[in-house]
Amino acid sequence: MAEFPRHQLSRQHFLNGKRIADSDQVAGAWRTYEFNVSSAVKPGTNVLAVQVWAPTENSLAITFVDWNPAPPDKNMGLWREVYLTTSGAVALRHPAVLSRVDSPGNKAAHLTVTALVKNASDHPVHGTVKGRIENIEFAQPVELAAGESKDVVFTPGQYPQLNLSNPRLWWPAQMGTPNMYELKLSFEVNGEVSDSSHTRFGIREITSEVTEPAPNRAKRLFKINGKNILIRGGGWTPDMMLRQTPERLADEFNYVHDLGLNTVRLEANSKPRNSSRWPTSKASW
């Protein structure tokens, strides 16, 4: 698979002279695209060619304002790394954990685990999605038709082991420790691992409610894990040339923390591809 995390206004994609995607498959600057390049990739050196052009005012592109001026080329082209990933017949994508916390006591949490499985082969595949969170294990058989993609869901109702007692909760800055867990998932076929993933996540539940009316409008109260939180933060704009390094990211988070803020409103182009780059010792919302 070739993964294109994000790019600005591209139409044609070629690998070793073979077209792997065109404008019917690629639109907008914010999405992550993944193409099956098994028929085009070869051992040794490979050549990728992408046709790009500058966006116009009507394009689904990165936009700029007076306080964030546009570079001369309007950031056309690739602005995140391109990756080649390998797997067996079935790939595992987009693992996630949704959590519900029994507030206000917070003595229990209920987790829902989800992932997308994609069969890239031309024949049906029978396999098993297996998961592990610390000492908690769970598994589910999955049948995929040729070329089929399917969401696999583990709910706490069907898998009681996903109901946790005395969980280590994730808290934002100034409210506690941003505790993290690790989720390990794999897809196995006949005892062999076709693909696997490792993801870090925090157990938390964010809610909001409308409280007493204010003049000509209502007020909205936000809560995290059953406790009131005052949102203190602002917008976060990236480097004009969309350059990003782990060092700069850590410095910016330290600035946010030292200012006493607990929230970062992300521009879509600010988030790193690899969530492990996010600092957790000084976590914001």
> Other C-beta atoms within 10 Å of 170: how many?
24
CA distance 104 to 47: 56
What is the structure's pLDDT at 149? 96
Summarize pLDDT for 73-93 with one digit per residue, the tens: 777 777 777 888 889 999 999
Q: What is the DSSP letter of 71?
A: P
CA distance 18 to 7: 20
What is the structure's pLDDT at 277? 47
What is the structure's pLDDT at 275? 47
In this structure, what are the phi and psi dihedrals at residue 253, rounded to the nearest 5 degrees? Answer: -65, -35
The residues facing 125 across adjacent strands are: 144
CA distance 39 to 31: 24
Summarize pLDDT for 194-229 with one digit per residue, the tens: 999 999 999 999 999 988 766 777 888 999 999 999
What is the structure's pLDDT at 197? 96
In this structure, what are the phi and psi dihedrals at residue 123, rounded to the nearest 5 degrees? Answer: -145, 160
pLDDT one digit per residue (tens) for the chain, 285 residues: 666 655 556 678 899 999 988 878 887 777 778 888 888 999 999 998 988 877 777 777 776 666 667 778 777 777 777 888 889 999 999 999 999 999 999 999 999 999 999 999 999 999 999 999 999 999 999 999 999 999 999 999 999 999 999 999 999 988 999 999 999 999 999 999 999 999 999 999 999 998 876 677 788 899 999 999 998 887 777 777 777 788 888 888 888 889 988 888 776 445 555 544 455 444 554
Q: Which of 226, 246, 252 is nearest to 99 (CA)?
A: 226
Rounded to two decimals, the pTM is 0.84
**Burial class, 39, CB count within 10 angstroms (exposed 0-12 / middle 13-18 / buried 19+):** exposed
